[in-house]
Every structure is written in structure tokens, then in C-alpha cells.
Amino acid sequence: MEIKANNPNLKSWVKIPENSDFPIQNLPFGIFYSDKKSKRVGVRIGDHVLDLFELYQNGFLNNLNLSASDLNNSFLNKLMGHGKTGMRNLRDRISDLLSIDNIELHSLEGGFDNILIPVSSVQMSMPVNIGDYTDFYSSKEHATNVGMMFRDPANALLPNWLWIPVGYHGRASSVILSGVDIHRPKGQIKPDPQGDPVFAPCRNLDFELETAFITFDGKPLGQSISTEEAEHFIFGMVLFNDWSARDIQTWEYVPLGPFLAKNFASSMSAWIVTLDALQPYKVDSPKQDPEVLAYLKFEGKKSYNIELEVSIKPENTEETVICRSNFKYMYWNMSQQLAHHTVNGCNIRNGDLMGSGTISGATPDSFGSMLELAWKGTKPIALVDGSERKFIQDNDTVIMRGHSVKGGVRIGFGEVRSKILPAL
């Protein structure tokens, strides 16, 4: 189905800086506020934010079945209750209003300064009230690298990995917005492998380069979502840094998997790029061998070409790009993840967050974590200021960026950035 707002020929009357992540073909959703405005729904265009509540109040969003509380709201969840079709119609209408030939906002008596606001004058807030957070483990390269380091290089992938989109249930309460600093976590570590554990600040603090998708309401408990239906239940995607304390993880993860090594913080980008906007960037996924079970089979393209990069910025110096990867490397796609998640009858809800798992490519410069980039501390990464990193140090800022390009149209996610403060 053709999505009007994705037309690559569209131009906006809003000035879009060159190489912006936010041309008229993107129109991602977020929650913003300012000195003058309470938290509300906004859409990003170039270096501006469109205030959807003000648009609604001025009669520009009629005939979309919206109510004021959908937009004058500190989370997107209520608006997302309109589902895939409702959100698509809203994005199409916003695209119309911002198109170069449309004069509706220009005709508004008193001007539109209160509707289209410079992004520099607003603050962003968590866009979604996240109910449940699930994290997958869907990069074959990442799973292989970790298996080689922690278990057995000859049998790096566990036997189930090529059959199951492996995942676990994470912690929603500590998912935080880009720009929120976090303190180095503390916990049980074993600096001496032969000795007893000690309680101390994490010494091997790591990021995980991920994306995450956010769902609409799914089906009732007991029913399943097929790979064919899955994208209908996905609202959009964000960049996601799934912070990981590797030394805490090494000691605690047997037999139930990571716990405190992962639940202290996970950072997400502020603008939710709709899955609709990403449709032009669909690509084939890696070939799956052995053939997957019937409920995991899918037709057509289900992966997306999203270029990703990670930088480390030490205090007071410039940043160094330490990793370039791509979402399309993922072995298991989002439709398979969602089909697997619900195949036993587990219900998903409006505002659930599903992490992709660390997105590593085949080459050492495309690995999506410090654990892999510096190969468990044996190959330190050089930064432009002359320092080296095996893991993330206090006062380092980790920045992740991502975008898709095709036919001269670039849509992106902005960034997710967080600084590590010393342990409390």
C-alpha cells in the first residue's frame, strides 16, 4: 500500500538543513515541553517541532477522530491507541500541512509561531510509557563473538540459536531518555576468578548498539501474531543503548541470564521514527539456514537498511567514532521476533518496547559493543585524544546515531547520548 507521506518528491516550506535526519518524509513523533508549554505530542521537521496540540486547537486536525487528550498528554500511548491506520492518517495530514504548496498554516491569523517551534527552545521527554521491555539477541555475529569469548570458540553459537529468536524480559522502569546521565552501577564482581566475589563499582562497563521497536496493542491473551501480521502491530523504532556491566554479568548470569548487569539503565532516542516512514528502506535479511519452523517463515523483505554508528566522547575532548554497523545485518527480523514472542499466546500491549539485541556486523569495526570491539580488553580502542578504551570510563559520553538513505532522501533517528558519572 502506497503511503502518501513517503513520496520522495515531497518538499516542505519549512527550511530543512542539509543532511538533516528530519525531512518531510520522516515526521517522527515525540513528547516535548518548554517554559511555556506542558508536555505534549510533537512531530519533528528539520530543526523545528510541530506542536500537535496547538494544531488540533486551531482546527487543523479535524476529521481524524482525535481528542484533545490524545495530544495534550505526557505520553504518546493514548494517541497510539488509534492504531496503525489512525497514526498513518495523522502523519499523512501533517505531511500535507507542511508540503510546499500548502498555505493553511500561513493563512492563520496571528501567525504560527506557537505551532512551529525551534527545537532549540524545547526539552524532550520520554515519548512512551513503557509497559514491558523485551530484549532479543538476534545478531549472529554478536552471539558468535560472545560465545567465542565466554564459552567455546569451536561451538560459539548455542544449539538453539539458529532455531529461536532468543530473548529475555528486561526492566522497563530504568529505560531512560537520551541526555539523561547515569551513575556507574555497583554489584558483585570477581576480580580474582579463583577468589570470592567482592562488592564494588563495575569495572567493565559497556554499551550495546541496538534499535528497539514500540508496539501498538496486540491481540488478546492466548492469541498469536503471525510474521505476516507483525508490522501492523509495530508503531515505530528508536535507537537504543542497552547498558551492560560485563563483570557483574559474568558472575551472575548462570543459569537464568543477566539480571543486575542489565537493569540499571537502557537509553533510548527521543523521536520515534514510524515503521511507515521506514518502508522505502526495506531490504532482504540474511539467508537463514537451517530453514526455520513454519511460524517463523515470512514473505518479502522484512529487514531495513539503517546505518548505525557509535562514538565515545571523553570529557572536554572531541568524540571518536568507534563502530559503524547496520540494522540489516540482523539474522532475525522484527516480524519474526514478534511472531515468536506471541506464539505461545503472550499478549503485547500499546507501548511495549522490544530491543533488537546488539547489532554487530562481520568486520571488527562493525562490532556493536566494547566487549567485542576491544575483544574482552585484549585490543584497546584508540581515541583521537590519544587515550585508549577497553570499556567505558567515568565521564565518557556514548553517542549512537542512525539513518537510512535512498534516492537522495535521508531519514534518521537523531541520536541517543548518555554520560557515565562516577559510582554513587
Q: Which of residues 313-332 bind Ca ion (CB under 5 A)?
A: none
DSSP string, 220-238: PTT----TTTGGGGEEEEE
Closer CB to Ca ion, residue 45 or residue 371?
371
How many residues are given for the chain? 424
Residue 119: how many CA atoms within 13 Å on its side-chain side?
20
Strand, coil or helix: what is 284? Answer: coil
CB 256 → Ca ion: shortest distance, Å? 15
User: CB under 5 A: which stretch of 135-143, 315-323, 362-370, 398-406 binds Ca ion?
Assistant: 135-143
Q: Does 252 help bind Ca ion (rule: CB under 5 A)?
A: no
Grid cell, residue 278, equals 521506514
Q: Which of 262, 257, 256, 258 is nearest to 244 (CA)?
A: 262
Q: Tell me which residue has its CB nearest to Ca ion.
A: 242
| Angstrom distance (rounded) from CA 203 to CA 211 | 25
Closer CB to Ca ion, residue 135 or residue 231?
135
Closer CB to Ca ion, residue 42 or residue 368?
368
Please give the C-alpha separations between residue 47 and each of 21, 98, 119, 269, in angstroms, as whole numbers: 10, 14, 6, 16
CB 358 → Ca ion: shortest distance, Å? 6
CB 261 → Ca ion: shortest distance, Å? 10
| Angstrom distance (rounded) from CA 377 to CA 369 | 12
Closer CB to Ca ion, residue 135 or residue 276?
135
Strand, coil or helix: what is 94? Answer: helix
Candidates 208, 352, 396, 415; binder of Ca ion (CB under 5 A) is 208
Candidates 51, 54, 70, 135; binder of Ca ion (CB under 5 A) is 135
Candidates 54, 231, 242, 415; binder of Ca ion (CB under 5 A) is 242
User: CB under 5 A: which stretch of 55-63, 64-72, 207-215, 297-305 binds Ca ion?
Assistant: 207-215
Is the four-CA dihedral 271, 303, 213, 268 of positive or negative sign? negative
Size of the site for Ca ion (CB under 5 A): 3
| Angstrom distance (rounded) from CA 361 to CA 324 | 8
Q: Which of 142, 340, 341, 403 is catalytic?
A: 142
| Angstrom distance (rounded) from CA 177 to CA 358 | 19
CB 138 → Ca ion: shortest distance, Å? 10
CB 237 → Ca ion: shortest distance, Å? 15
User: CB under 5 A: which stretch of 15-23, 202-210, 300-308, 397-405 binds Ca ion?
Assistant: 202-210
Closer CB to Ca ion, residue 116 or residue 205?
205
Compute and round to an integer the Cα radius of gyration of the chain.
Answer: 22
CB 354 → Ca ion: shortest distance, Å? 11
| Residue 142 annotated to the active site | yes
Q: Which residues bind Ca ion (CB under 5 A)?
A: 135, 208, 242
Active-site residues: which are they?
Answer: 142
